[in-house]
A and B are shown apart, each in its own frame.
Chain A
Amino acid sequence: MSQVRVSGLASLAFADLPASASRPAQTTRRLTARLSGKEGWCLLVGLLLLWQLVAWVVPARNRFLFPSPLLTAQALWASLFELGKGTLSSFIILIPGYAAAVVAGVVLGILAGTTRWLERLTVPFTRVVAPVPPTVYVPYAIALLPGFRSAAIAVVFIGAFWPIFVNATAGAASVPQRLRDNARVLGLGKAEYLRRVVFPSSLTHIFSGMSVGLAMSFIMLTVAELFGANAGLGRFVQFYADFADYPRMVAGILFTGAVTFVCMRALDRVRRRALFWQR
């Protein structure tokens, strides 16, 4: 709904300008609208071709450092089973860490966004602790916690928690006045108000926090696996890099990218379904 309003305002703003001034803006808008469709995939294919071209040009003695797409595809095919197993192993870390971050981030964020003293209590943490790149915790978490898996889950949690928490807080703090009035005249109790009004009203914010959080958890996951895993996607890349098997390494990178992409798309689906009432 807000997006509609924004574009409405934008067209109003353009209406005031002379026609010549609005033309470039219109062209870019038309271009971006087109690129969002199949053209994005065409660009991807183009890049692949460019990659192949560059691979041909690279001198033979450096080829093992810069594998061609064809070689990478072969490596990908050959290690598909291993990659599948790695994905499974990674998800055993990713899912609990991310899910815990979503639950904790949303619950605490909604409480912090609606309770003055709790918000004041968390401000120093969100200002000081949240901006610390969570990757710095990885070595210590591995040293501190029993077993690699629990350590990796913990760092995935930390990485995903802050963006979700900060966004949920912002969402809960910005429930529109009309909805708050509405809840008050109905005599909703605090718990019911949080569950049935604040939570749905904050969903837009929560989902943007969740998608940043998901990207963060993939970063944390792979970094943690580079440090000390014996399985998983990050481990796969690290392992073949150590053996200078670059086709497999690049295949691992591409595969990790694909898995991330699929997860982000799935989250986007969930978001669209949950926010059906905004269209």
Chain B
Amino acid sequence: MGSAAQPALELDSVSFGYGTGAVLADLSLGLREGEFVSLLGPSGSGKSTVLRLLAGLEIPQRGHIRHRGKPVTGPGIDRGVVFQDYSLFPWMTLTENVVLAIGKAHPQLDRKQRRELAEEYLELVGLADAHGKYPQELSGGMCQRGAIARALAMGAPVLLMDEPFGALDPVNRTRLQDLLLEVWNSSRPARTIVFVTHDVDEAILLADRVVVLGACPGRIIADLDVPIPRPRPRRQTYLLPEFQDLRKAVTEYLQGDMLQRLSAADTVAEAEGI
């Protein structure tokens, strides 16, 4: 998938479920080193589960997950995670949160160096003035900036983001998308990013590749490259025919999946005499 080289991050015919219900059925997906992939899908399509599997927070019932060829058996500091909210511990200041992560990723640094590095990353995400604040003193957007700073400070080559901007207002959302792209563009070697979202525009604007998941059980129904060169200034990009075509295609896939499920539900209902 994607390239002939060995994928950096890979799900190999993975199945996963809670109890008897299957969340993911025989799902395979490979990411190149430095690739930015959006995972898009309706709720119940298991897109967050894919992310949790990649993070090592869940173990698949069947199949394998590999990072740079090595099997993923649990969480590791080589894969940074940003959750939708609550990525920060409420009883620690922003700096303390980031310092805690740095301490795990760079144990050779002393206390002062960890602090300096943390403040550097907070400055990078535009939180220079807020480093002594506690998460509940900050807005949702600032907390997510902090969470991104924490993930970046860990220096992980893989960034797994689970609807990180889903709870933000449109203005903050736009700003943080720009920030994420800026950070991703400026770091060498580029980080591999898996970005879970249910916003089609966001998925296309950010990613090299959009993977669309269908629901019940979760499976890949489309895997589309985004043929738009970077940088992608928002206003011009939205008007590009490539963007609009892709948007239409993705939306159709999502609707198709939904209609299929609705008709399946009807059939079940009829069979049960409802």
Listed in ascending order, the chain A residues whose CB lies under 8 Å from chain B are 178-179, 181-182, 184-188, 196-197, 200, 276-279
The 4 closest A-B pairs by CB, nearest first: A185-B81, A184-B75, A200-B91, A277-B90
Shortest CB distance A155–B (Å): 34
Shortest CB distance B118–A (Å): 13
Contacts of A178 in B (CB 8 A): 83, 86
Known: A277-B134, A277-B136. A185 touches B89 (CB 8 A): no
> Are A187 and B104 touching (Cβ within 8 A)?
yes
B80 proximal to A (CB < 8 A): yes
B101 proximal to A (CB < 8 A): yes
> Are B81 and A277 touching (Cβ within 8 A)?
no
Please, how many angstroms separate the alpha-carbon atoms of A179 and B101 in the complex?
A: 14
> Are A181 and B57 touching (Cβ within 8 A)?
yes
Please, how many angstroms separate the alpha-carbon atoms of A181 and B104 in the complex?
A: 15
B179 proximal to A (CB < 8 A): no
> Are A182 and B76 touching (Cβ within 8 A)?
no
B28 proximal to A (CB < 8 A): no
Interchain residue pairs with CB less than 8 A apart (16):
A178-B83, A181-B57, A181-B81, A182-B87, A184-B74, A184-B75, A185-B80, A185-B81, A186-B100, A186-B104, A186-B154, A187-B77, A187-B105, A197-B89, A277-B90, A277-B135
Shortest CB distance A140–B (Å): 42
> Are B91 and A277 touching (Cβ within 8 A)?
yes
Contacts of B83 in A (CB 8 A): 178, 181-182
B219 proximal to A (CB < 8 A): no
Known: A187-B75, A187-B104, A188-B104. A182 touches B86 (CB 8 A): yes
Please, how many angstroms separate the alpha-carbon atoms of A42 and B76 in the complex?
A: 60
Shortest CB distance A200–B (Å): 4
Contacts of B57 in A (CB 8 A): 181, 184-185
The number of residue pairs between A and B whose CB atoms lie closer than 8 Å in the complex comes to: 48
Contacts of B56 in A (CB 8 A): 184
Contacts of A277 in B (CB 8 A): 90-91, 134-136
> Are B55 and A179 touching (Cβ within 8 A)?
no
> Are B134 and A185 touching (Cβ within 8 A)?
no
Contacts of B47 in A (CB 8 A): none
Nearest opposing residue in chain B for A180, CB measure = B57
Nearest opposing residue in chain A for B135, CB measure = A277
Contacts of A200 in B (CB 8 A): 89, 91
Contacts of A179 in B (CB 8 A): 86, 89
Please, how many angstroms separate the alpha-carbon atoms of A147 and B57 in the complex?
A: 55
Contacts of A279 in B (CB 8 A): 136
Please, how many angstroms separate the alpha-carbon atoms of A198 and B71 in the complex?
A: 29
Please, how many angstroms separate the alpha-carbon atoms of A278 and B134 in the complex?
A: 11
Shortest CB distance B132–A (Å): 14
Please, how many angstroms separate the alpha-carbon atoms of A179 and B52 in the complex?
A: 14
Please, how many angstroms separate the alpha-carbon atoms of A38 and B245 in the complex?
A: 69
Per-position contact with A for B217-237: 1 when CB-CB < 8 Å, else 0? Answer: 000000000000000000000
B79 proximal to A (CB < 8 A): yes
Please, how many angstroms separate the alpha-carbon atoms of A196 and B105 in the complex?
A: 17
Shortest CB distance A277–B (Å): 4
Shortest CB distance A182–B (Å): 6
